[in-house]
Structure 1
Amino acid sequence: MRRTYAGLAAVLLLVSAGTAAQPPAPESYTAATTYKKLAPAYPFIRIAGSEAPASVRALTGITYVQRGGHALQLDLYLPAQPKAGPVPGIVFVHGGGWRAGVRANFAPMAIRMAERGYAAAAISYRLSPEALYPAAVQDARVAVRWMRTHAAEYGIDPSKIAIGGGSAGGHIAALAGVSGDAARFDPDGGPGTVSSAVQAIVNIDGLSDFTSEAARRYEDDPARQPSSAGAWFGGRYAAMPALWREASPLFYVNAKTPPVLFIGSAQPRFSSGREEMVARMREVGVPSRVVLLPETPHSFWLFEPWIGPTVEATVAFLDAYLR
Structure 2
Amino acid sequence: MNLPWGYLIGLLVLVLPAVRLPRMPIGPGTACFFAGIAVLELPFLASAAFAASTALAAAEGDLDSPVTITAAALAGACLTLTTWRGMRAMPILMRAMGGLCLSPRLPWSRILLRPFAIRPRSIERIANLSYGPHGKRNLLDLYRHRSAPANAPVLIHFHGGYYTTGHKNSQSLPLLHRLAEQGWVGISANYRLGHAGGFEAHLQDAKRVVAWVRAHGREWGMDPDRIVLSGSSAGAHMSALAALTSGQPRFQPGFEDADTSVSAVVGLGGYYGAYFDGGPDGDPLTHAHADAPPFLIVHGGHDTVVPVEGARRFAEGLQAVSAQPVVYAELPGAQHGFDLFHSPRFEAVVNAVEAFATHACATAAKR
Distance in 2 between residues matched to 1:167 and 1:43, nearest whole Å: 20
User: Once the 2 structures are TM-superposed, how far is the Cα of residue 166 of structure 1 from its aligned partner?
Assistant: 0.6
After TM superposition, the structure 1 = structure 2 runs for residues 171-182 of structure 1, keeping only pairs within 5 Å, are 171-182=237-248
User: Once the 2 structures are TM-superposed, how far is the Cα of residue 45 of structure 1 from its aligned partner?
Assistant: 7.0
| TM-score normalised by the chain length of structure 1 | 0.72
User: Once the 2 structures are TM-superposed, how far is the Cα of residue 303 of structure 1 from its aligned partner?
Assistant: 2.5
Asked if residue 313 in structure 1 is aligned to residue 312 in structure 2, the reply is: no
Distance in 1 between residues matched to 2:212 and 2:115, nearest whole Å: 27
Asked if residue 97 in structure 1 is aligned to residue 159 in structure 2, the reply is: no
Deviations 1:279-316 (A, max 9, x none): 54354422111122221111111123133122111101
Corresponding residue to 1:263 among 293, 298, 319: 298
Greater strand share, structure number: 1
Corresponding residue to 1:296 among 334, 344, 357: 334
Matching residue of 2:223: 157
What's the Cα RMSD here?
2.7
User: Once the 2 structures are TM-superposed, how far is the Cα of residue 133 of structure 1 from its aligned partner?
Assistant: 2.1
Distance in 2 between residues matched to 1:251 and 1:43, nearest whole Å: 38
Identity %: 26
Residue identity opposite 1:285 in structure 2: A
Specify whether residues 284 and 92 from structure 1 end up closer, same or farther in structure 2 by C-alpha distance, changes over 3 A only. Answer: closer
Q: Tell me if structure 1 keeps the 8 A contact 2:42–2:341.
A: no
SS at match of 2:164: coil
After TM superposition, the structure 1 = structure 2 runs for residues 1-323 of structure 1, keeping only pairs within 5 Å, are 38-39=37-38, 44=43, 49-67=116-134, 70=136, 72-81=138-147, 85-106=150-171, 107-128=173-194, 131-191=197-257, 194-210=258-274, 230=276, 233=277, 237=278, 243=279, 245-267=280-302, 269-270=307-308, 272=310, 274-305=312-343, 306-323=345-362
Distance in 2 between residues matched to 1:87 and 1:51, nearest whole Å: 22
User: Once the 2 structures are TM-superposed, how far is the Cα of residue 42 of structure 1 from its aligned partner?
Assistant: 6.5
Gap regions ≥5 residues in structure 1: 1-28, 211-228, 238-242
Residue identity opposite 1:93 in structure 2: F
Q: How many aligned residue pairs are there? A: 259
Gap regions ≥5 residues in structure 2: 1-29, 46-113, 363-367
| TM-score normalised by the chain length of structure 2 | 0.64
Specify whether residues 251 and 79 from structure 1 end up closer, same or farther in structure 2 by C-alpha distance, changes over 3 A only. Answer: same
Q: Tell me if structure 2 keeps the 8 A contact 1:189–1:196.
A: no
Greater helix share, structure number: 2
Instruction: Give 1 or 2 for the bigger CA radius of gyration.
Output: 2
Q: Tell me if structure 1 keeps the 8 A contact 2:124–2:146.
A: yes
User: Once the 2 structures are TM-superposed, how far is the Cα of residue 167 of structure 1 from its aligned partner?
Assistant: 0.6
Distance in 2 between residues matched to 1:182 and 1:271, nearest whole Å: 29
Q: Tell me if structure 1 keeps the 8 A contact 2:33–2:336.
A: no
Distance in 1 between residues matched to 2:240 and 2:234, nearest whole Å: 10
Q: Which of the pair has the greater relative contact order for Cα pairs under 8 Å at 6+ separation?
A: 2
User: Once the 2 structures are TM-superposed, how far is the Cα of residue 270 of structure 1 from its aligned partner?
Assistant: 4.7
Matching residue of 1:223: none
Residue identity opposite 1:250 in structure 2: L
User: Once the 2 structures are TM-superposed, how far is the Cα of residue 41 of structure 1 from its aligned partner?
Assistant: 6.6
Residue identity opposite 1:134 in structure 2: E
SS at match of 1:312: helix
Residue identity opposite 2:265 in structure 1: I
Specify whether residues 264 and 90 from structure 1 end up closer, same or farther in structure 2 by C-alpha distance, changes over 3 A only. Answer: same
After TM superposition, the structure 1 stretch with the greater mean CA deviation from structure 2, 129-138 or 309-318, is 129-138
Q: Tell me if structure 2 keeps the 8 A contact 1:205–1:271.
A: no
